[in-house]
Structure 1
Amino acid sequence: MAVDVPDLVAQAREGRPRAVARLISLVEGASPQLREVMAQLAPRCGNAYVVGLTGSPGVGKSTSTSALVAAYRRAGKRVGILAFDPSSPFSGGALLGDRVRMGEHASDPGVYIRSMATRGHLGGLAWAAPQAVRVLDAAGCDVILVETVGVGQSEVDIASQADTSVVLLAPGMGDGIQAAKAGILEIGDVYVVNKADRDGADATARELNHMLGLGEAREAGDWRPPIVKTVAARGEGIDEVVEALEKHRAWMEERGVLARRRATRAAREVETIAVTALRERMGELRAGQRLDALAERVVGGELDPYAAADKLLAGLAEVADAVDSTPSGPSR
Structure 2
Amino acid sequence: MGSDEKTATLDESGILRPSEGSAWLIDGKRASENVLASISEETRKLAAQGVKPGLAVILVGEDPASQVYVKSKSRTALACGFHSVQHDLPAHAGEDDILALIAKLNADPAIHGILLQLPLPNGRDATRIIESIDPAKDVDGLHPLNAGLLAIGDLERALVPCTPAGCVHLLDRTAAVLGREVAGAHAVVVGRSNLVGKPIVQLLLARNATVTIAHSKSRDLPGIVGSADILVAAVGRPQMIQGEWIKPGAIVLDVGINRIPAEGTTETGEPKTRLVGDVARQAALSKAAAITPVPGGVGPMTIAMLMANTLRAAKMRVGL
**Greater RCO (CA < 8 Å, at least 6 residues apart):** 2
Where is the strand percentage greater, Structure 1 or Structure 2? 2
The answer, yes or no, to whether TM exceeds 0.5 is no
TM-score, normalized by length of structure 1? Answer: 0.29
Where is the helix percentage greater, Structure 1 or Structure 2? 1
